[in-house]
């Protein structure tokens, strides 16, 4: 514990951990002095608030943990876990926020793949469990490391960790997902982000060619916001905004034509397999809905076996449908 050192946030430019955190902030992060309301500000101004958004909407560079115990400051030491780069401690009750910097940031959507996201979620949940932290927290807003509203500490940690380095200290047993899809989505922030992206993009693809870019963005944003509103802990507005913008840009990019042709061809093949009779189109539409549902469930982290059980399908069908990713 000798390396645990209290720091002066106002000297952040001379403290490598704080300078690194500042460099990684979004240009206009959400911030606030009171929970319940927040607003975007340029980071030069945002760091003066009590709470701040630590990560870009589409990229995770810092894992944030909320520990509600009076001895939270020593949770990593007491449980033989990696030292966080930064700890913010509430002077009144001893509760704390831990911040771990990732060596390789994890993209949440766009051209990202599910495996790194699922691995990050597994590491996050396991580390939260060992620390006694809230596994559903995710860190939309954290105690601001540049504010004097809390006591801040550095621990002598490495400049950053890979997910593999963090995993060495953890038991990454498969998480127990709820059978209820909405509950699974609510399990953590990263799952909410991915589920919103995949739900929204599938609906955007069906209308992309019918609208201009401005019209499409408006429709896609409305879809994302409506889906996000169903969560117990909705994402910040700029996260749904970036999801909608990413999907819209893709649908209006040169890549869209090739992707859309492949998408349409898969639908035609499904229709032919269904039947060439009058019921063919109906069955094709039904398959399309089931594919979308399977892919959305997969985006929440549910295993292929669990998806198959929940949808009463074979694992082979589920595996085939999630290959769209």
Question: What are residue 88's phi and psi, to 5 degrees?
Answer: -110, 125
17-26, 31-40, 143-152, 277-286: lowest mean pLDDT where? 277-286
- The CB-side HSE value for 123 (13 A sphere, CA atoms) comes to 23
Average pLDDT of 53-81?
Answer: 93
Q: Name the DSSP class of 135.
A: T
Average pLDDT of 58-78?
Answer: 93
Between CA 228 and CA 118 the distance in angstroms is 20
- The CB-side HSE value for 81 (13 A sphere, CA atoms) comes to 24
For residue 154, give Cα distances in angstroms to 1, 94, 138, 187, 232. Answer: 11, 16, 21, 29, 33
Between CA 169 and CA 130 the distance in angstroms is 9
Average pLDDT of 25-38?
Answer: 87
3-class DSSP assignment, residue 171: coil
What's residue 304's pLDDT?
Answer: 75
For residue 318, give Cα distances in angstroms to 25, 304, 323. Answer: 38, 6, 9
Residue spans of beta strands (DSSP E) within 94-207:
96-107, 142-143, 151-154
Sheet strands side by side (includes 142-143): 39-40, 30-32, 51-52, 142-143
Between CA 137 and CA 215 the distance in angstroms is 34
Between CA 269 and CA 263 the distance in angstroms is 10
Average pLDDT of 251-276?
Answer: 68
pLDDT band for position 185 (50/70/90)? very low
Average pLDDT of 75-98?
Answer: 95
Higher pLDDT among residues 183 and 269, named by residue: 269
Between CA 133 and CA 184 the distance in angstroms is 18
- The CB-side HSE value for 80 (13 A sphere, CA atoms) comes to 3
- Statement: residue 174 has pLDDT above 90: no
What's residue 205's pLDDT?
Answer: 86
What's residue 324's pLDDT?
Answer: 42
pLDDT band for position 286 (50/70/90)? low
What's residue 221's pLDDT?
Answer: 92
Average pLDDT of 199-217?
Answer: 89
Percent of the chain with pLDDT over 90: 41
Higher pLDDT among residues 185 and 8, named by residue: 8
The 10 Å CB-count burial string (b at 16+, else e) for 130-144 is bbebebbbbbbbbbb
Average pLDDT of 274-299?
Answer: 59
What's residue 240's pLDDT?
Answer: 86
What's residue 161's pLDDT?
Answer: 97
Question: What are residue 60's phi and psi, to 5 degrees?
Answer: -100, 115
What's residue 179's pLDDT?
Answer: 35
> 3-state DSSP: the chain helix, strand, coil percent, rounded to 5?
50, 15, 35
Question: What are residue 151's phi and psi, to 5 degrees?
Answer: -85, 135
Check: CB of residue 187 under 8 Å from CB of residue 233. no
Check: CB of residue 102 under 8 Å from CB of residue 141. no
Q: What average pLDDT does the chain have?
A: 81
pLDDT band for position 266 (50/70/90)? low
């Amino acid at each position: 514990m000798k390396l645990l050192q209290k720091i002066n946030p106002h000297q952040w430019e001379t403290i490598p951990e704080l300078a690194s955190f500042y460099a990684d902030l979004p240009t206009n992060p959400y911030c606030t002095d009171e929970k319940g309301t927040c607003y975007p500000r340029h980071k030069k101004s945002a760091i003066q608030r009590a709470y701040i958004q630590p990560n870009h909407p589409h990229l995770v560079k810092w894992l944030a943990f909320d520990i509600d115990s009076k001895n939270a400051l020593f949770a990593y030491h007491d449980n033989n876990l990696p030292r966080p780069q930064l700890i913010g401690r509430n002077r009144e009750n001893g509760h704390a926020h831990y911040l771990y910097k990732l060596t390789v940031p994890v993209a949440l959507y766009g051209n990202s793949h599910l495996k790194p996201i699922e691995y990050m979620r597994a590491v996050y949940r396991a580390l939260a469990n060992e620390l006694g932290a809230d596994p559903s927290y995710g860190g939309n807003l954290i105690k601001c490391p540049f504010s004097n509203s809390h006591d801040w500490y550095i621990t002598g940690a490495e400049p950053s960790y890979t997910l593999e380095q963090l995993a060495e200290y953890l038991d990454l047993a498969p998480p127990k997902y709820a059978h209820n899809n909405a509950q699974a989505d609510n399990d953590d922030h990263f799952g909410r982000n991915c589920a919103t992206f995949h739900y929204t993009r599938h609906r955007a693809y069906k209308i992309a060619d019918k609208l201009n870019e401005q019209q499409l963005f408006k429709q896609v944003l409305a879809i994302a916001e409506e889906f996000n509103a169903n969560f117990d802990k909705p994402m910040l507005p700029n996260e749904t905004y970036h999801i909608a913008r990413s999907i819209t840009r893709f649908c209006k990019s040169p890549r869209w034509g090739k992707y859309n042709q492949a998408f349409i061809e898969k639908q035609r093949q499904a229709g032919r397999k269904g039947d060439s009779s009058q019921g063919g189109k109906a069955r094709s539409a039904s398959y399309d809905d089931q594919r979308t549902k399977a892919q959305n469930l997969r985006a929440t982290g549910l295993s292929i076996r669990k998806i198959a059980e929940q949808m009463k399908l074979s694992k082979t069908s589920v595996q085939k449908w999630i290959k769209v990713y």
